[in-house]
Chain A
Amino acid sequence: MAQADVRNDLETMVETHRKREVVRRRGPQLSWQIYLLLLPTILYLLIWTIWPLVYAVGVSLFRYNLMRPDLIKFVWLANYARAFNSSVFKGSLEVSATFTVAAVSSQFLLAFFLALVLDRTMRGIGLLRTLFIIPVFLSPTVVGLLWRNMYFADRGVVDYLFTRVGLPAVHWVGQASTSMAGVLIMDAWEWTPFVALVLLAGIQSVPPDIREAAELDGLNTFQYAWRILLPTLRPVILVVLLIRTIDTFKTFDSIWNLTRGGPGNSTYMLSIFATQTGLTGGEIGLATAMAVLMAVVSNIVGLVLVLYLGRREFSSNS
């Protein structure tokens, strides 16, 4: 019997070795073909993203107004200086930053709670989750318009419902003091389902033995979430934070349609400022400079988050 075992082991070893040989031998042969697969994407992105970006940086070095193309002039970094010295620019940067931080953090907390609520096996939970995620699939333009309709002071259905339940009518987007809140509510409505469903998937992928152990230890939900879910879901959380932070910073369509940046400058995001400068003002040199600055800021924030995440998230070598 021992001999049979030895022979089996040997055979297994030979098999494994053979497999490895085969794989190794096939590897190097195909390397150029592999690059061939990757190349079209890289080329396409170089032509259709990097080149326009370079062009944009180029444009940002000119004082270029579309309505007076004859006055175009190379001004080196004057646009950037103008932006940095502009109080409107600084104000809009502050609005964007405030909005991003407030939106991402509040939506994350709300999403976590909602994920736990939706973590059930009732009949029709699939339908519930589908309905829940509808806001994510709406056009941000439509979302902005929809909430603008709902917020209409006096006639607004939001305020109406508030008064019906005894709360005071807040003219959300009618005054500068509450407009940011109004915008945050709209954005939360639109994007929290996305974060919630990502977190939900993460919550559901926690291995059963961990869950059972926690149950045996008598953890209540809060302790479970705090001590087990958060650490386990760290990669998921960080990635969704990264995506949402970057996208929230870029938000334009919804806020533009809701408030046009007002009242006053209370919701005047940097994205709106840049777009208005280019579209309404025709100052595409300055607008592009601002957009480039936005891209730089996003990249810095993204880089910081990614380095914190650890590059293992992006490699095939993990």
Chain B
Amino acid sequence: MGQAIRLKLKRWPGNLLAIGLVALWLFPIFWAVLTSLKTRAQQDRLVPLFLFHPTLDNYNEIFTVSRYEVAIRNSLIISIASTFFVMVLAVCSGYVLGRVRLKHGRDIAMWILSLRMIPPVAVGVPFYLLFVRLGWIDKHLALIAVYTAVGVPFAVWLVQGFFIEIPRELDEAATLDGLTETETLWRVLIPVALPGISVAAIFTFIFTWNEYLLAYLLTTSRAKTVPLAVSENILEYHVEWGRIMASSMIVILPMLVIVFLLQRYIVRGLTLGAVK
């Protein structure tokens, strides 16, 4: 685990450096939390305020004044559903592209990855035009379908990388035990690839949760997602910073928990898409 060589620092200086750098890096988050606990008057000082009487007004207002819970509910529905569909497609195709010698497997894999290079604007306009005509604007299902399409390439690439990593001996052992290909997939390969699949799922979920442009184009009020609700606090002549920070901090907490529980896998997952 990188123990032989590291920055030639003795233990404590090195540890302090790590802690210090991360603490410094997190200052903006710290600032966001502070701001979320300030009143408008406290935010508007010429000299930024670090010690003050905190208030939970902002957290209150986003639910009472702007019904943030609707956006949270929408985002949950859309993100969970999109992630689910993306993972189904990604596991199936990742398996095939990663373990089966397909004649054009390489080309197909590269084609799928190339889809990731498309800027959302390019598909946003056609979707908008099509959905207006079909009456699919502001429908959860429409956004789910779009997000699934956008999220598949990256997920396939990650999952495929994980499937490639699994040693062939596992396949052969399973075959010897009399398992069919399907059973092998289900009972042996998927459990082994589960870390990678979880990582792909997390990244997909977070991507769909944070996406702004397509959600902006394709929804108006009923299917509004969290990023849209947050940016609605940018009013004509002033910005409700307190509410922006409060709404952002709320959704960070569950994400933090998940990330912390799975951070080992996340780091592994990021590399296995690349390292052979």
Contacts and interface: CB of A to CB of B under 8 A. Distances in A.
B21 A235 contact: no
Interface string B34-58: 0100000000111110000000000
B164 interface: yes
A38 interface: yes
Interface in B92-150: 92-93, 95-102, 105-106, 108-110, 112-127, 129-130, 145-146, 148-150
B271 A236 contact: yes
A130 B105 contact: no
Nearest to B255: A137
A55 B129 CA distance: 10
A295 B45 CA distance: 44
A137 B259 contact: yes
A315 B6 contact: no
A221 B127 contact: no
Given A150-B28, A197-B267, A121 B3 contact: yes
A302 interface: yes
Contacts, number: 320
Nearest to B272: A201
A129 B262 CA distance: 11
B263 A292 contact: no
> In this complex, which of B4, B46, B171, B245 has the most chain A Cβ atoms within 10 angstroms of its Cβ?
B4
- Report, nearest first, the 7 A-B pairs whose CB atoms are least far apart: A48-B149, A139-B210, A291-B122, A239-B274, A201-B271, A298-B117, A211-B4
26 contacts: A23-B171, A26-B175, A38-B92, A45-B153, A53-B123, A117-B21, A120-B6, A122-B14, A132-B26, A133-B263, A137-B206, A142-B244, A145-B244, A149-B241, A198-B267, A201-B268, A201-B270, A208-B4, A212-B4, A221-B5, A224-B5, A253-B212, A292-B122, A294-B121, A302-B114, A316-B100
Interface of B: 1-8, 11, 14-15, 17-19, 21-22, 25-26, 28-29, 31-32, 35, 44-48, 89-90, 92-93, 95-102, 105-106, 108-110, 112-127, 129-130, 145-146, 148-150, 152-153, 156, 160, 163-164, 171-172, 175-176, 180-182, 206, 209-210, 212-213, 226-227, 230-231, 234, 239, 241, 244-245, 248, 252, 255-256, 259-260, 263-264, 266-268, 270-271, 273-276
Interface of A: 19, 22-23, 26, 30, 33-35, 37-38, 40-42, 44-45, 48-49, 52-53, 55-56, 59, 114, 116-122, 125-135, 137-142, 145-147, 149-150, 154-157, 160, 189, 193-194, 197-198, 200-206, 208, 211-212, 214-215, 219-221, 224, 235-236, 238-240, 246, 250, 252-253, 257, 271, 274-275, 278, 284, 287-288, 290-292, 294-295, 298-299, 302-303, 306, 311-318
